[in-house]
Copies of this chain bind each other. A is one copy, B any other.
Amino acid sequence: MSLKYAILGLLDDRSRYGYEIKQQFEQAMGELWPVSYGQLYPTLKRLKQEKLLSVRTEQGKKAIDKHVYSLTSEGRLAFQAWLKDSSKKLQTSIKDEFSLSLFFFDKMDKQDLHRDLEDLKKASLRKLGSVRDDLALQQGQNGNGHPSRRLLLKKMELYLEAEHRWIEEIQREIPKE
């Protein structure tokens, strides 16, 4: 349900075609929130069926026609209602494969585990570094980047720090045996 409102919101400003929606969203959100065509185009189709969007075909210089989407008034209302709705949640899910594997902690080779932990820690720090670089860049071109990009990057930074701390905690707690 998120892509739906991302689309509606982008079209609230002006009409756009599919390719453009993806570019714009990912440019602002960065690598933090990728959108695949395999999801985008079917969603546009569905939103059209739901009468939240209308389409017109633009024959530009290009051979391939662009399908330019606009919000219907119904679509605009739907977006505004969503934006105002206060039930939007932060979804902090901690379910992932590595965490599951800890469930079988006692069956694990402790040396393998500590090797994996080292790798995960390195990966975490690498990501953290690149996020911080991005944040610094954002700060540099002051107020130029999309404000939500800064906030998202900040969120990512805080979460990666938490991840890193957690890994170190596991390293401390689990004997190398």
Where the two chains meet, the residues of A that have a C-beta atom closer than 8 Å to any C-beta of B are: 1-2, 5-6, 9, 12, 25, 28-29, 32-33, 82-84, 86, 88-109, 112, 115-116, 119-120, 123-124, 146-148, 151-152, 154-156, 158-163, 165-166, 169-170, 173
Contacts and interface: CB of A to CB of B under 8 A. Distances in A.
Given A100-B2, A151-B173, A160-B92, A9 B107 contact: yes
Contacts of A99: 90, 148, 151-152, 155
Given A90-B124, A92-B156, 17 more contacts: A2-B96, A2-B97, A9-B107, A25-B103, A29-B103, A32-B95, A89-B96, A90-B99, A91-B96, A92-B160, A102-B151, A105-B148, A106-B147, A151-B170, A158-B165, A158-B166, A162-B162
